[in-house]
Amino acid sequence: MNRQHLELLASDEWRQVLEERAFPFAFGPLGPDALGDDVLEIGPGPGLTTDMLRTRVPHLTSIELDPALAAALRERLAGAAVANVEVVEGDATAMPFEDARFTGAVTFTMLHHVPTVQLQEAVFRETLRVLRPGGVFVANDSVPSDELASFHVDDVYNPIDPTTLAPTLAAIGFVDIDVRANQYAWACRARRPG
């Protein structure tokens, strides 16, 4: 991510957007409780979503590709009052977790940083693999726009067209797929077959 983008993702302004818009839109009436007690967060970046999730779920594992971001998040959370987060440096296209480990998985505004459609699909396949039967997957990201493209100078910007998401997830093996979109973002909830 470019520096401007990282600064935004660590800001109080972005925290407010997550709390007031992104989380309610992504989780809908289910709420984070639907994720169960052992949750995977994919691509936490600076960790604002981690901060919000760790107070809502019993145990959270956050996998982050960028070594510096993973180390910074691990260090910041080391002194946290709620010590229920494990930060793992790793690649979400080839996760170092056993099959059917997690009760739920989430990713917020990360998938557009995955450089190809094939790698995005690999993230979805790996997510399905590490979810327990019946496990819930919640994803949220922005819809494609010229404004966001210009914000990603010297950065990966590969947004997902939400109209392609349900067929892609179904082909990978997810069920009960619900994709919603507005002019700014899309949200998806799906489940590993039980």
Radius of gyration for the chain, computed over Cα atoms and rounded to the nearest angstrom: 15
What CATH number is given to the structural domain containing 157?
3.40.50.150
Distance between CA atoms of residues 67 and 98, nearest Å: 22
For the chain, 194 residues long, give each residue's pLDDT as a single digit of tens: 667 767 777 788 888 988 999 999 999 888 888 999 999 999 999 999 999 999 999 999 999 999 999 999 999 998 776 679 999 999 999 999 999 999 999 999 999 999 999 999 999 999 999 999 999 999 999 998 888 777 767 788 899 999 999 999 999 999 999 999 999 999 999 999 99
Residue 138 domain boundaries: 3-191
Query: How do beta strands 185-191 and 175-181 pair?
Result: antiparallel
Domain count, the chain: 1
Instruction: Tell whether pTM > 0.85.
Output: yes
C-alpha pair distances (Å), 13 with each of 24, 143, 170: 16, 19, 35
